[in-house]
């Protein structure tokens, strides 16, 4: 993996051509735009406003899976990791520079390097939550997988914890980081892991960059229009219990298109 390189040196005209890296503008925006940084600060700063009310109201929960008697459970906040707490745009930039796409092998190499940066506002909010006695839980689709016969069953967990420590997020153990395939029923759908957490904690807030970090069943066999409907159904959660970080680089929003992106563009015609 080459060193982190800003893509500004590669400013190109991006079109709907198979010869152009379609992710170029997205990565450039994440790495260089003050507007992206402002969006991240806005999400985390807004969350500060609601912490006191969430702690005071033992009926307050941000998890749809929280249908148990949770009033006496200790509070917790659930975070996605990648592009919510961790900034992995350097990995995405390298893919663009190399003219390649996502591969599990290159991604695991990046995880192993423990060099992800932090999303603006994330570290301060997490440290604040911990100081308020709130448990922080990371539900991530980083895959738990042996690298070789000598490695631990889940080296990605320790890599992730060390990367968090390097960013100033401490006091994190394996109990705070729930990886994909850490248990047999923990797949890419995060519902089962949220169900696991709500048995132990009252989840007052959730942070993510993908609709699937909040709502189950939105990552496949669904139309973009239906996903918008589902986001609207829970409109009262956004900015009070749910806080979403923009991610134009990848995510289930792209997976559900199923066809070249240009087919979904909506222009205008002169009457």
Q: Where are the domains of the chain?
A: 21-258
Q: pLDDT by residue (tens digit) across 212-260?
A: 999 999 999 999 999 999 999 999 999 999 999 999 999 999 999 987 7
- pTM, entire model: 0.92
State the alpha helices, DSSP H only, in the chain.
Answer: 24-32, 34-56, 89-98, 104-113, 122-131, 155-166, 191-198, 224-233, 252-255
Return the CATH architecture of domain 21-258: 3-Layer(aba) Sandwich (3.40)
Asked whether the predicted pLDDT for residue 15 surpasses 60, the reply is no
**3-class DSSP state for residue 127?**
helix
Question: Apex CA 229: angle with CA 22 and CA 248, to 5°?
Answer: 20
- Phi then psi for 56, rounded to 5 degrees? -75, -25
Q: pLDDT by residue (tens digit) across 188-215?
A: 999 999 999 999 999 999 999 999 999 9
| Cβ contact 51:111 at 8 Å | no
């Amino acid at each position: 993996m080459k060193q982190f390189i800003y893509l500004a040196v590669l400013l190109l005209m991006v079109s709907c051509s198979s010869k152009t890296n379609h992710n170029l503008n997205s990565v450039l925006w994440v790495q260089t735009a003050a507007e992206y940084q402002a969006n991240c600060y806005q999400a985390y700063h807004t969350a500060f406003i609601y912490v006191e009310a969430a702690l005071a109201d033992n009926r307050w929960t941000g998890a749809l899976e929280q249908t148990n008697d949770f009033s006496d459970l200790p509070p917790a906040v659930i975070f996605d990791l990648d592009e919510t707490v961790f900034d992995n745009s350097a990995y995405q930039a390298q893919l663009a520079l190399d003219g390649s796409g996502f591969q599990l092998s290159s991604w695991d190499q990046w995880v192993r390097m423990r060099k992800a940066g932090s999303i603006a506002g994330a570290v301060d909010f997490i440290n604040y939550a911990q100081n308020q006695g709130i448990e922080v839980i990371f539900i991530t689709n980083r895959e738990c997988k042996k690298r070789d016969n000598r490695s631990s069953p889940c080296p990605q967990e320790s890599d992730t914890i060390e990367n968090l420590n390097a960013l100033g997020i401490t006091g994190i153990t394996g109990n705070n980081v729930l990886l994909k395939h850490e248990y047999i029923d923990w797949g890419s759908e995060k519902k089962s892991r949220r169900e696991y957490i709500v048995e132990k904690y009252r989840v007052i807030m959730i942070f993510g960059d993908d609709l699937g970090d909040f709502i189950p069943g939105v990552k496949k066999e669904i139309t973009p229009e239906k996903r918008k409907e589902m986001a609207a159904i829970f409109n009262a959660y956004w900015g009070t219990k749910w806080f979403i970080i923009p991610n134009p680089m990848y995510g289930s929003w792209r997976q559900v298109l199923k066809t070249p992106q240009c087919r979904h563009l909506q222009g205008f015609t002169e009457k």
